[in-house]
Amino acid sequence: MEQTDSYRRVFPKPILGRYEFAEVRNAASAIAGTNPDEFRDIVEVLDNFWLTLPSLTDPGKNKGVIASTLDTAFRKLGWREAGHETETTLTMRIEPYIGAGEKTPQIRTYKFTTSGHKVDNVRGRVALDVEWYAKDGNLDRDLANFRALHELDVIDAAVIVTRHHERTKYAANYLAEKGNVIRHDAKGDRIVLLETTTTTNLEKLTPRLEVGNAGGCPVLAVALTDLCYKPGPDDPTLPPYDAPLALKGVPDTEAIEEDG
């Protein structure tokens, strides 16, 4: 499925300058056009959100500081976590066989209930999940959820807020070095932050969008980058992403050994 770029037309330039985007089926313009209040909420949250030294150098976890901060920002604007169940009723009519003296049909009814995974944030007809540093299988779950909800005409479009793997990894490790918050494992080796590639990020999400895992649902991906970092008064600044890294034992981004 071909990617679209309607986000370039509807998001303010400051947001386009700090985040990376991907979308299918013109998701950004679809949200802005059909759910303008929810689109304004998304713009507001992205505009006010900044990465900090503590949030970037936090070990991660499924619901770390960054994901919780974003979820809380949406909650304050009226977005809520939502689950869904689908109940299907199957009625089988067995016709009577006159040769056996049967006169009335037999009616058998079967009910099936299936439960979908929860969506982090729902408002109006837009669903939004935050995936900072969870297992990348969560992306399959999210897209399957969006697809089902869209096919049932419950939502018009969906959003996944995630991270750009290389750019956030660069930021976390540079700042850990400069901010003297380097962590070591039991062997004394430095822990490379945001190293694991089998986690949720834009690089893992984009191929899933392109092969059509969301079906007919328009999906917008918004990825946090190093440009979302705002230093505190005593925090180190962050050179541009393409600048050489001066990390002890990690000379540049290509030298950071990946896991998986």
pLDDT > 90: what percent of the chain?
A: 73
Half-sphere exposure of 83 (CA within 13 A, CB side): 6
Quote the pTM value.
0.84
pLDDT band at 30 (very low <50, low <70, confident <90, very high): very high
Digit-coded pLDDT (tens) for 48-97: 999 999 999 875 544 688 999 999 999 999 999 998 777 788 999 999 99
pLDDT at position 115: 67
Domains detected in the chain: 7-83+121-255 (3.40.91.20)
Digit-coded pLDDT (tens) for 152-168: 999 999 999 999 999 99
Digit-coded pLDDT (tens) for 249-259: 343 433 333 33
Over 90: is that where the pLDDT of 180 sits? Answer: no
Digit-coded pLDDT (tens) for 184-198: 888 888 888 998 889
Over 70: is that where the pLDDT of 113 sits? Answer: yes
When the pLDDT of each residue in the chain is averaged and rounded to a whole number, the result is: 89
pLDDT > 70: what percent of the chain?
A: 90
Answer whether 168's CB lies under 8 Å from 18's CB: no
Angle, CA of 101, 102 and 107, to the nearest 5°: 170
How far apart, in Å, are the Cα atoms of 202 and each of 18, 34, 167, 207, 225?
14, 25, 11, 9, 10
Answer whether 228's CB lies under 8 Å from 51's CB: yes
